[in-house]
Amino acid sequence: MHELSLAGGVLRVVEDAAARDGFARVSRLTLEAGALAGVEVRALRFALESLAPGTCLEGAEVVIDEPPAPAWCHACCTTVEIRHRLEDCPQCGSARLLPTGGTELRVRDLIVHDH
């Protein structure tokens, strides 16, 4: 399960931040998984919850936002938002879209508690 390795990476980022910034516990972790990131959000949430016991994420609320991806339409020369790689342009219906983002998984926000 690729989401388990992603969850491990997220946990490392959070634990590195805890060591650097001196907080003991996270009460809310907000992630952003772009529409084209290839992340199964339910599996990622399950993996994070499985890894959390005994870490600074134990008991944390996990919020995972899934924003649409920007794409450039060659037909109507505009940037549009898409949710899937094979989606047609919502403006003109063209299939000539070039995704320009939406492949990222990032930690967007941490709400933490000191010691």
The predicted-structure confidence for 26-57, as pLDDT tens digits, reads as follows: 999 999 999 999 999 999 999 999 999 999 99
Whether residue 85 is contained in a domain is answered as no
The residue range of the domain holding 15 is 2-69+101-114
Other beta carbons within 10 angstroms of residue 22's beta carbon come to: 10
Indicate if the pLDDT at residue 114 is higher than 90.
no
- Answer yes or no: is 79 within a domain: no
Determine, yes or no, domain membership for 89.
no
Which pLDDT band, with edges at 50, 70 and 90, does 115 fall under?
low
Give domain status of residue 92, yes or no. Answer: no
Considering the domain boundaries, does residue 88 fall inside one? no
CA–CA dist 1, 68 (Å, integer): 24
Chain centroid to Cα 60, Å, comes to 16
Confidence at residue 81, expressed as pLDDT on a 0 to 100 scale: 97
Q: Is the pLDDT of residue 20 over 90?
A: yes
* Band (1; pLDDT cuts 50, 70, 90): low
Predicted confidence (pLDDT) at residue 88 exceeds the cutoff of 70: yes
Question: Is position 84 within any domain?
Answer: no
| CATH code of the domain in which 105 resides | 3.30.2320.50
Tell me how many domains the chain contains: 1
Q: Is residue 59 domain-resident?
A: yes
Q: Is residue 107 part of a domain?
A: yes
Q: What is the pLDDT of residue 113?
A: 84
Residues 54-62: what's their mean pLDDT? 96
